[in-house]
Amino acid sequence: MSKLKFRVEPGGTLRGTLRVPGDKSISHRAIMLGSLSEGVTEVSGFLEGEDSLATLAAFRAMGVPIEGPEHGRVRIEGVGLHGLRAPDRPLDLGNSGTSMRLLAGLLAGQPFDTVLTGDASLSRRPMRRVIEPLTRMGARIEATEAGTAPLKIHGGRKLHGIDYVLPMASAQVKSCVLLAGLYAEGRTCVTEPAPTRDHTERMLAGMGWPIDIAGPKRCLEGGHVLQPCRIDVPADISSAAFFLVGASIAAGSELVLEHVGINPTRTGVIDILRAMGADITLTHAREVGGEPVADLRVRSAPLHGIAIAEELVPLAIDEFPALFVAAACAEGETVLTGAEELRVKESDRIQVMAEGLTALGIEAVPTPDGIRIRGGRLRGGRVDSHGDHRVAMAFAVAALRADGPIEIDDCANVNTSFPGFVELAHAAGLRIRAIS
């Protein structure tokens, strides 16, 4: 991994109209379900970041003809539910936890063995949360003693449906079990303790697979066929979040973010920022391929600290590094609880953000399941992103309110979710450059 760093000069405003890259969650699922459909699926707006490209490479390695990506366009010749072939090597999923957890469900029902590997960060992330329900369905999966990758998934196992109650809100675990259910005998049900992103359910239904949704419970049965379709991937709200925060905290800013996915299971970041006093309006709301999208207009506004409602945590789980920067620029104290999941992301995001904010002069006290941040004056300094793309981008926008330059180490992984971040942010007014 190259030792890429960001240097961001202090101050500036964000202005103009921009479109951030395509939604990573939807891009993953488009490749997976398109590959298993019976015919050609055309995808536009595909995120050409390292995580979703890892999913694409995995399905190519299993014999799926895929053209592209070229300017966000991908053409997938689906091989049907039972047309995947054994790869001739382990599938390296890089930094992508979504790829590994969802693929574990799909591959548990195949007739061949597979091995899933990843980089050092992914190899530390907990996988027992998917191994346990899949084992209950009849799968056989080997992991390390710590329950981490590499995962060896044994093929030729007969899967049966289960009624699974998620111990914690997780879209990845929910999706993993539902995808295994495509191959299972009988009915597979998942009940979640709080709403999580529902892109899997929406795309399955859009491709003709019957799925029953009743409150927190979603059920499906094996034995159906996935129909190919056209998928227009909206801009990723998780990537838009850095600009929503940046324009909120930098005086004189006004930005329009175009064609952003506003799936109600993903809009916690907007709700939290508005509760803090942010000026965000939605315009041109519409539906594209079963997913709601809108243009987001954000103007600078004075923010104040809040106690973040725990029911919003799963709806904003990926956006908290950016929200912690908003809290650092708000008047008063912001308190987050019920977010222990942040400790097992690409980094321990609670600890890493607390250390970085403290280095920049902000009072940030981590707790087992959250953090307390008292807004104050950001000073310049040097922080370590620990290879976490969202941490790196969060500290970059923090420079808009800092009184000196901020240097951020270990930023190469920004390409996993937001290729072109530096160029787009610079064009909008952030005084950022990358140094290798």
Active-site residues, by number, are 318
Which backbone phi and psi does 291 adopt, to 5 degrees?
Answer: -115, 130
Amino acid at 431: R
Radius of gyration of the chain (CA): 21
Helices (H) and strands (E) in the chain, counts: 12, 23
Amino acid at 84: L
Instruction: Tell me how far apart the alpha carbons of residues 138 and 185 are, in angstroms, rounded to a whole number.
Output: 11
Instruction: Tell me how far apart the alpha carbons of residues 303 and 312 are, in angstroms, rounded to a whole number.
Output: 18
Exposed, middle or buried: residue 156 (CB in 10 Å: 0-12, 13-18, 19+)?
Answer: exposed
Let me know: does 114 contact 153? Beta carbons within 8 Å.
Answer: yes
| Both tokens assigned to 230 | 């056209």
Candidates 272, 249, 285, 237; CA nearest to 390 is 237
Which backbone phi and psi does 371 adopt, to 5 degrees?
Answer: -160, 155
- Angle separating helix axes 97-107 and 24-35, nearest 10 degrees: 20
- Residues in CB range of 376: below 8 A, 6 or more apart: 328, 361, 362, 363
Q: Is the dihedral of CA 411, 262, 206, 287 positive or negative?
A: negative
Let me know: does 150 contact 114? Beta carbons within 8 Å.
Answer: no
Candidates 16, 15, 17; CA nearest to 258 is 17
CA angle, 97 as apex, 96 and 100 as ends, to 5°?
95
